[in-house]
Amino acid sequence: MTTESTEELLVEGLQEMYYTENQLIDALGTLEEQTSDDAAKQGFSKHREETREHVNRLEKVFEQLDESPQEKEDMVVKAMIEEHEQFSGENEGEVLDRYNMEIGQKTEHLEIAAYGSLTSLAGKLGHDEAADVLEETLREEETALEEVTKASEQFDQQQVESE
C-alpha cells in the first residue's frame, strides 16, 4: 500500500475509523446482549449510542475535507471481532462477561490511539474544524475507557467477594 501524502494518510485513517465505528455499532449490541452484568450492559448500550454519533461526526469531517465517506477495513478491528466471535461461541457466564469487558477496554485503547493521531494530523495539516470534531470524539472515547474500566474493576471485586 503506497500513500502519496500526509493528506492521503489522514483520509485513509478516517476511512479506517469509519469502518471501525460502523463495525462497533453491531459489536456493542452483541456485547450488550451477551453480558449479564447490569453496569457493563448499560455501558455497552450507552457507548453504542455514542458510537452512532461518532459515525455522524466522521461523516462531517469527510465533508469538511471534501471527501466522500468510505470505509477502509482495519485488519486489527476485524481480527478482534473474529476473536470475540470464537470466544463467545465457546464460553458463557462470568467468564464471558469479564472477557466482554476486556474486549471493550481493548477497543477503547485502539480508538483513543487512532483518534489522538487523527486529531494531531488534522491540526498539523490546517484542518482545524476537523481536528476539533475529532478531539470531541477522542474525549468521549477516553471517558468510555474510564467507564468500562470502572465497571470491570467493580465486576472483579464482586467476583472476589462472592468466592
Note whether 96 and 88 are within 8 A (CB): yes
As a whole number, mean pLDDT of residues 142-149 equals 92
**Is 0.95 surpassed by the pTM of this model?**
no
Grid coordinates standing for 25?
Answer: 455499532
Mean pLDDT rounded to a whole number for the chain? 93
Residues 6+ apart with CB under 8 A from 98: 152, 155, 156, 159
Residue 95 CB neighbour total at 10 angstroms? 11
> Can you tell me the distance from the alpha carbon of 158 to that of 163, in angstroms, rounded to the nearest whole number?
9
Is the per-residue pLDDT at 90 higher than 70?
yes
pLDDT > 80? residue 2: no
Q: What is the mean pLDDT of residues 113-141?
A: 98
List domains and CATH numbers for the chain.
6-162 (1.20.1260.10)
Mean pLDDT along residues 125-138? 98
Q: Which grid coordinates are listed for 28? A: 456493542
Residue found under cell 477516553: 142
Report DSSP state, residue 137: H
Count of C-beta atoms within a 10 Å radius of residue 114: 22
Residue 163 has pLDDT above 70, yes or no: no
Quick one: pLDDT at residue 111? Answer: 97
- Given this model, what pLDDT does residue 1 score? 59
Mean pLDDT on 104-115:
96
Asked whether residue 20 carries a pLDDT value surpassing 90, the answer given is yes
| Cα dist from 78 to 4, 14, 69, 101, 122, whole Å | 25, 16, 19, 18, 25
Across 147-157, average pLDDT:
88
